[in-house]
Amino acid sequence: MLERLLPGPLQAAYERDLPEPVHVPNLLSFSNRAWYRRYGAAVYPLIRAVGGSARWFGRHERTYHGERQCEEFGLVEYPSHRRFLLMIGNPYYALINRLRERGVSHFEAGFTTPVTDEPLGRHEYLLTVHFEPPTGRVDEADFDAVREPVEAAGGAYVYGTRLTSDFDFLGEPTGQADPRPLSYPGIACFAEPSPTAADATVDALGDALGDVVEDYALCLYRRDGI
């Protein structure tokens, strides 16, 4: 990843004003999960050093609609996108990034802005809607449109975030672990107490989401550690 940093776009990204804090969704699939666990343990102090925190990480349990988005879904918060850029420019990060590259087979990420943000750590299961709105650009009204049918079906809305910037300071991906843009610019999460409860919500929901978004994937994740 670090070899793909483009000096000009990196400077432009640093000078860009984005809403704060930023949340970086991590949509991960693995070639070797053990190597990624080593990376997770090594990168956590660096995340904390720039003021960041891991908000929630969970493993994929099932996909109800669309394609599976990842094997592990994570949310990491940084005080600003500039803090994230400082982190990945740290020489220590260059060393530990090799662990991530050995463990990851597919990775999507981007800078997003939360529109609903409550503590997620107590939720074991998140029924998650990855969505593309009809206009292509996500705003708060799109989250209301997604929230209404899922809550009517029994889901408890706890989190939403929208894409504000891709990692456009990187060149084209050359390796399987290189970050790629998020497939869907909107993410809405609903707490579920169990997979059985999530199944019931999805059964009651039917295809109501298809009436309010252009495209979506509906996945269930179970809480895990970073």
Residue with tokens 């990420």: 109
pLDDT at residue 200, rounded to an integer: 98
Residues 139-147: what's their mean pLDDT? Answer: 96
How many Å apart are CA 49 and CA 51, to the nearest integer? 5
pLDDT at residue 113, rounded to an integer: 97
Average pLDDT, the chain: 94
Residue with tokens 């060149």: 171
* Res. 2 pLDDT band, cuts 50 70 90: low
Radius of gyration of the chain (CA): 17
Residues 170-186: what's their mean pLDDT? Answer: 92
Report in angstroms the alpha-carbon separations of 225 from 72, 143, 152. Answer: 10, 27, 31
* Res. 178 pLDDT band, cuts 50 70 90: very high
SS3 141: helix
pLDDT digits (tens, 9 = 90+) for 187-221: 999 999 999 999 999 999 999 999 999 999 999 99
Tokens representing 85 are 């850029």
Give the side-chain half-sphere CA count within 13 A for 50: 24
pLDDT at residue 103, rounded to an integer: 97
* Among 214, 188, 169, 191, residue whose Cα is nearest residue 66: 214
pLDDT at residue 40, rounded to an integer: 94
